[in-house]
Structure 1
Amino acid sequence: MSEKEIIATDKAPHAIGPYSQAVKVGNTVYLSGQIPLIAETMELVIGDIKAQTAQVFNNLSAVASAAGGTMNDAVKVNISLTDLNDFAAVNEVMSSVFQQPFPARACVQVAALPKGADVEIEVILVL
């Protein structure tokens, strides 16, 4: 097995639990789930689901960059929403982040997310 490399950046929120922002093994990078926190203040973005989702993708992009990649290196995206009625709005933001061919994806509704967030997204990159 390839050696693990821990990826960290101050341009994304620091971990709020016992996990790393990302872990790189070989050319694969596993980005931990991000919620719509502002890195500098660790406060949730105030606004609709589009604003929250945009912040999540900004956070993920910062971590991807620290790993030497971009969101275009994404092969898998997992989205958790507290309300599946937000599905179309999240798709709209996601379509502005990724280019074709799009990564594989799952989207599920969950009962709750950390800090009362409405959306959490995790990504796997292959560099």
Structure 2
Amino acid sequence: MTDPQHPYSPAVVANGLVFVSGSLPLAADGSVVPGGRAAMDAAIEQLRERMATVGVGLADVVKLTYFVTDMGLRDLANEQFIELWPQPRPARTVVGVAALPRGCVVEIDAIAKVP
């Protein structure tokens, strides 16, 4: 996904790690998935797709960052995080931001290890 609007790599492998660009909650047709948990699930799905392009999956994640436009979404982030990652879970940060691209409520990026 390299074009003038998106001049970045979705995932980059360096020194045994994979750095995954922020993933927005977008449906297959490119529309924004609204809401709290539905949006987070869509963002994780996009993250999963980006990771697959370089041969890693959610089990390889060592660090996640959730960017949210409402810190009230932290509880939903916790719920999703607990469901997707068994103990010991990856490190994680939830950051409150004023706005995200396309009016999204969440963006998630990750660092994973190459298996």
Q: TM-score by structure 1 length?
A: 0.82
Higher relative contact order (CA 8 A, sep 6+): 2
Aligned-pair Cα RMSD in Å: 1.3
| Poorly superposed stretches of 4+, deviation over 4 Å | none
Question: 1:1-127 residue pairs with structure 2 within 5 A?
Answer: 14=1, 16-38=5-27, 40-46=28-34, 48-127=35-114
How many residue pairs get aligned? The number is 112
Instruction: In structure 2, give the amino acid aligned to 1:105.
Output: R
**2: distance between equivalents of 1:122 and 1:20?**
12
| Deviations 1:72-124 (CA, angstroms, capped at 9, x unpaired) | 11111111100001110121112222122111111110000000000011000
With normalisation by structure 2, the TM-score equals 0.90
Gaps of 5+ in 1: 1-13
